[in-house]
Structure 1
Amino acid sequence: MSTPLDLSVVVPLYNEEESLPYLVEQLTDALRPSGERFELVLVNDGSSDRTAEVLEQLSHNVPELVAVLLRKNYGQTAAMAAGFDVAQGDVIVSLDGDLQNDPADIPMLLAKLREGYDLVSGWRHQRQDAALQRKLPSRIANRLIGRVTGVKLHDYGCSLKAYRREVLSDMRLYGELHRFLPALAFIEGARITEVKVNHRARQFGTSKYGIDRTFRVLMDLLTVWFMKRFLTRPMYVFGFGGLIAMLGSLLASSYLLVVKLMGGDIGNRPLLTLAVVLGLAGIQLFCFGLLGELLIRTYHESQGRPIYRIRETLRGGRAV
């Protein structure tokens, strides 16, 4: 591209043929007057309706539109990752394609980001969704995620977010990790805040989320917790657990040895089985820790991934 872009708007799409033309119109209406050099990166995640056809038609009429057509339905996280990889803007904004996020809020997110933050997350403070099926589970999940990750946000599930490019370049997404982007960015040292944004009732189609998402979110939450605490030091968790298990095995074995020397029968004691199990488990956990340390070392060295991030360097009071 001949000139750099200020902004890339990434939108994952799945069966949004009805809302897509309105979405593109609202995005261009919100961004063209701002003077930003922008692009709209719309990712079709293997839709089964006419989303791909509508997207191709719009790409001929909207010069800012970049259509990304995935081969099949990979899920929202993969679609967002594809959009992030294609995006060329210095700032990247993500939002849903169902018109519930308001494109008119994007300039507000950009203004907040330029106050010195690395990530600005939207907060749907007047959410237009069913209270029992969507709002209550979301409220519980937000509190749980905030407690586990240490990043206190009111609305992790809001897709309307603004990022500095360098923040996203440090992260690799998989599973359902798109909703944990603030926590992943926090691990990398990002400065995070949130702003209240408008939320609208769904106009077309039905929600793509089901109850099965809860299980996937919980599993990914455990992954994020482990990454936050032990990403560069897996020996701390596995090795410590292994040492505790081996210590328990040693104490139980010592007691049984004393009983045996005093003429007692230990062959039928459950404690003997426990001692053996603890010993084997302790050795395995300790070995897991060593393997984890070797894998982390290989990961950082093979990818040239730094173990630190420099926000700014000053010399003589001036940034260099």
Structure 2
Amino acid sequence: MDISVVIPLYNEAESLPELNAWIERVMDEHGFSYEIIYVDDGSNDGSWDVIEALKKKNDRVCGIRFRRNYGKSPGLHCGFKRAQGDVVITMDADLQDSPDEIPELYRMIKEEGYDLVSGWKKKRYDPLSKTIPTKLFNATARRFSGVKLHDFNCGLKSYDKRVVKNIEIYNDMHRYIPYLAKNAGFNKIGEKVVQHQARKYGSSKFGLSRFFHGYLDLLTLWFTSRFGKKPMHFFGLLGTLMFLIGFIALIIVLSMKLASILSPDSTLRPLVTSSPYFYISLTSMIIGTQLFLIGFLGELVARDSSQRNNYNIDKEI
């Protein structure tokens, strides 16, 4: 099979018939063998009934339905598990992604050898309240991940089948699939300018809170990708620095106390607790010790993890 189209959706009953007809037309014009996988994320507007009707008309339509709303990442995860095509295309169900982009996205994977190609909606039909935070978000994601993409959150992407079978999408990590792919060893990541269309039916399901959550997820992904299997390298180093700060402060306190004792002109010998360095040393040494303990506990957890020797092997002979 050439292409699997994975479409996560939530309350998009109005747009599904038009989207499905559009995809079928593009596939038939280019002679692709394909499947369309709709993942209904607990819709309550009759979206599943529409998917069942589409299935009756075309047996290449597949459907997965969640009992409740879980989010886009679980939808993509289940869709990727189901996908059988050599190239996997993802798109949103709101008709803002154009199926006419599919042939070129497919070609870039098969002929140019990309592992992943991400769409870039260079010209957007969104209000400034959405476009400005999006630009800030993408700039931060490029900085942290090292993946030079302009639009991380674009739902229109194409993947080599190996990519979707070797990455795990969880929580809200669908925004960082290119970063997950890079961490899995798929480094040939490209970008294609794609058409962005104004929403035709319904309203957006995402609010501004996704940008705040996105930054937290990015920090989590950055930390786990660098220190997930060696937490002592982070907490141990930080703990050492804090302990050294405390130790140096302690030496200063003892030196000041010793100088006051040995000074023949000193009639008033201040208490150790009157020096701010005493509290700096005490606090820093306690924090440093705690960070060391966190590092050791992290190493114990990593040692017992079933994923500790999970490596992505590309080829064997």
For the pair 1:271 / 2:268, whether they are aligned, the reply is no
- Which runs of structure 2 are paired with 1:229-248 in the superposition (5 Å)? 229-248=226-245
- Residue number in structure 2 paired with 1:137: 133
Counterpart Cα distance in 2 of 1:297 and 1:195: 41
Partner of 1:118: 115
Alignment of 1:161-240 (within 5 A): 161-190=157-186, 191-240=188-237
Give the Cα–Cα distance (whole angstroms) in 2 for the partners of residues 102 and 41 of structure 1: 16
TM-fit CA distance, 1:94: 0.6
Q: Which residue of 2 aligns with 1:62?
A: 58
**Cα displacement string for residues 24-64 of structure 1 (whole angstroms, at most 9, x for unaligned residues):** 11111111333332111100001121112211222211211
Q: Following TM superposition, by how much is the alpha carbon of 1:309 offset from its aligned partner in structure 2, in angstroms?
A: 4.0
Cα distance in 2 for residues equivalent to 1:76 and 1:109: 21
Alignment-derived partner of residue 297 in structure 1: 303
Structure 1 counterpart of 2:195, one-letter code = N
Q: What is the alpha-carbon root mean square deviation over aligned residues?
A: 1.8
Whole-angstrom distance in 1 between the partners of 2:123 and 2:11: 25
| 1:254-299 Cα distance to aligned partner (Å, 9 max, x none) | 2222333435411233332222221121112122222323333333
Kindly indicate whether the alpha-carbon contact (under 8 Å) linking 2:252 and 2:277 is maintained by their aligned counterparts in 1. Answer: no
Provide, for residues 153-201 of structure 1, a one-character-per-residue CA deviation record: whole Å limited to 9, x for no partner: 1111111111122222222222221010001111122110011111111
Deviations 1:100-140 (Å, cap 9, x if unpaired)?
A: 0001101100100111110011111222222x122221112
Between 37-46 and 257-266, the greater mean CA deviation after superposition: 257-266
Distance 2:304 2:33 in 1: 40
Moved over 4 A (4+): none
Amino acid at match of 2:102: I
Using the TM superposition, give the Cα deviation of residue 303 of structure 1 relative to its aligned residue in structure 2, in angstroms: 4.2
The 10-residue stretch of structure 1 (31-40 or 72-81) with the greater mean CA deviation from structure 2? 31-40
Instruction: Answer whether contact 1:188 1:309 (CA < 8 A) is retained.
Output: no
Equivalents in 1 of 2:34, 2:308: separation in Å?
31
Separation of aligned partners in 2, 1:203 and 1:305: 48
Q: How many residue pairs end up in the alignment?
A: 306
TM-score, with length taken from structure 1: 0.90
CA distance in 2, matches of 1:304, 1:246: 29
In terms of Rg, which structure is larger?
2
Do the aligned residues in 1 keep the contact of 2:250 with 2:281 (CA within 8 Å)?
yes
Change (3 A) 1:82 1:63: same
- Contact between 1:123 and 1:158, CA under 8 Å: does it hold in 2? yes
2:58, 2:276 → 1: CA distance?
Answer: 73
- Structure 1, unpaired ranges of 5+: 314-319
Partners of 1:90 and 1:298 in 2: CA distance: 35
Match of 1:21 in 2: 17
Task: Give the TM-score normalised by the residue count of structure 2.
Answer: 0.91
2:80 matched to 1:93? no
Report if aligned partners of 1:149, 1:228 keep a CA contact under 8 Å in 2.
no
